Structure 1
Amino acid sequence: MIDQLHNLLDTLKLRHTRETLADALKAAQQKKPSYSRFLLELLSREHQDKRNRSIANRINRSGLEEFWTLETFPYHLQRSVKKQTINELADLDFIDQGKSVVFIGQAGYGKTGLASGILLKALYADKSGYCIKAQDLFDELDASQADRSTRHLIKRLSRVDLLLLDEFGYTNPLRQVQINNFFRLMHNRCGRKSTIITTNLGFKEWGQFLGNAPLVAALLSRLLQKCKTIIITQGTNLRDPKHGLPASAPAPQVLKSLQLP
């Protein structure tokens, strides 16, 4: 009988139930729950296991190397960052509305920490997300020309619910083909999918950075129609050891919190 149950559970891909069936039956013999209660608890644990694995899969594919939580961000050190504003973004309504977010500030002011914290919230909320440094994105756009995979790359990145473009402004000199393909990607996303950009550049500096003022003007016109801009002007370098702030959590530690085998 047990072998038949295992075979059925394998066929139905109820992996967690199969692995815990013996313990569940033993516990049921002792506690004698109703049939409906037993089935509810069994399926609830299966559902939670599937959800945890789905979250872990999204995190593994997200490109996030380290993880920061919004709950532990030192708002007292960055007075120009309003906790209420960040909490509103953490509700993720902006993703459903296709809005974007731009964090502007000096290095070490917490832009990446806040942005990755929001992305992590989205991954836990069953949204697809991807984090990539600007230099890496431009390198991939350049390399895709060689094997003619640019269209596929742009299409893949255009589908992501939340794209985090980190360190926009910290790049090597760009070729025109890289810039053109970046505009293609942003054209696809603006107003449809949400993008978070962290940068040390004010909007007026984007034209010089990308070297094409007319295209930048067109991009900003579309981007800023549905965009929240957070400028971190007052604060301190959070990487300074004197603050004694904890380092971000590495990926294995975050995945371990999901209690996967």
Structure 2
Amino acid sequence: MSTPQRGITEHAAQASIDHACRMLRLPSIRAAFPEMAEQATREQMSYLGFLAELLLTECDDRARRRSERRIKAAQFPRDKTLRAFDFDANPNVDPAVIHTLATCEWVKKGQALCLIGDSGTGKSHLLIALGTEAAMNGYRVRYTLATKLVNELVEAADDKVLAKTVARYGRVDLLCIDELGYMELDRHGAELLFQVLTEREEKNSVAIASNESFSGWTRTFTDPRLCAAIVDRLTFAGNIIETGTDSYRLAQTRARVEQAI
């Protein structure tokens, strides 16, 4: 590797490699090549081994960039990871169940996930973290607040583009709907949300986080029959995680106050 072929100098060979990487759009190889070439020379790596290392570097970086693009496209409001979730602070949440969900087999099967519990129990954290895992595993993910989604659907209906909007939400592999149950939805808004859920039924996954138990959803969806239909869409062959009623955010705040006194 230290002897350039075709009678060109070492400097000319490096310039040719740089130019070729630009033309072939191989930015990772272009950036890593000089250091990796020196390492290959020191370790007396074979030509095939060196080529494999270069190509794997490009593949790994492309996979990382694709994951970053999918996470950005999901429009999560903040970064949340499963590693940062405090399972000790919330014994209601079984780590084994969450880590099984992190394999994204449920997303592959088009199943639903319902995270039910009071404020401060980690619902949104888990929703975003599991959505992030799905994006990292190659799935198209979209996050939205329930009220924001309904408002967008109402505006789309007014602008005569409802079918297009429903189809757009139907195409993503995982739709994460946060804060379902915080506000009452009128019948029209609830019906539009039902359209989105129906569009995704048994095809693509939906994950929701709600501060209300299913029995309390009648306060959000005031039509009992529509409420029952929505619950049925979300619970059929789905996963239900109850995060409990004890806010660990509040517990942490109290602990900090006590330490400061």
TM over 0.5: yes
Relative distance call for 1:81 and 1:20 in structure 2 (3 A) is closer
8 Å contact kept, 1:166–1:199:
yes
Could you report, residue by residue, the CA deviation over 1:21-64 in whole angstroms, capped at 9, with x for unpaired residues? 34433444444421101101100110111011101111111111
Q: 1:226 to 1:243 in 2, by over 3 A?
A: farther
RMSD: 2.1
CA distance in 2, matches of 1:148, 1:8: 49
Q: Aligned residues, how many?
A: 243
Q: Matched residues in 2 for 1:27 and 1:109: separation?
A: 50
Residues 1:75 and 2:87 aligned together:
yes
The one-character-per-residue Cα deviations of 1:232-255 (angstroms, maximum 9, x if unpaired) are 3353332442356xxxxxxxxxxx
What SS does the aligned partner of 1:71 have?
A: coil
| Structure 2 contact 178–209 (Cα < 8 Å) conserved | yes
Contact 1:6–1:18 (Cα < 8 Å) also in 2: yes
Moved more, 54-63 or 206-215: 206-215
Give the 4+ runs in structure 1 shifted more than 6 A: none
Q: Which has the larger radius of gyration?
A: 2
2:153 pairs with 1:141: yes
- Cα shift at 1:198: 0.5
- Could you tell me how far 1:3 is from its partner in structure 2? 4.9
The TM-score, its normalising length taken from structure 2, stands at 0.84
Distance in 2 (alpha carbons) for counterparts of 1:29 and 1:92: 42
SS at match of 1:67: coil
Partners of 1:60 and 1:219 lie apart in 2 by: 29
Q: Which residue of 1 aligns with 2:63?
A: 51
Task: State the distance in 2 between where 1:83 and 1:161 align.
Answer: 24
Query: Which structure 1 residue ranges, 5 or more long, are not aligned?
Result: 245-261
**Alpha-carbon separation, structure 2, partners of 1:39 and 1:174:** 59
Aligned to 2:3: none
Q: Displacement, 1:153? A: 1.9
Q: 1:245-256 alignment to 2 at 5 Å?
A: none
Structure 2 residue 33 is matched with structure 1 residue 12: no
Instruction: State the TM-score, normalized to the length of structure 1.
Output: 0.84
The answer to which of 146-155 and 235-244 deviates more is 235-244
Partners in 2 of 1:178 and 1:200 — Cα distance? 19
Alignment counterpart, residue 39 of structure 1, candidates 42, 45, 51: 51
Matched residue, 2:172 = 160
Q: 2:100 aligns with which of 73, 84, 88?
A: 88
Structure 1 Cα separation of the partners of residues 188 and 242 of structure 2? 30
Task: Tell me the distance in 1 between the aligned counterparts of 2:159 and 2:33.
Answer: 49
3-state SS in 2 of match to 1:145? helix
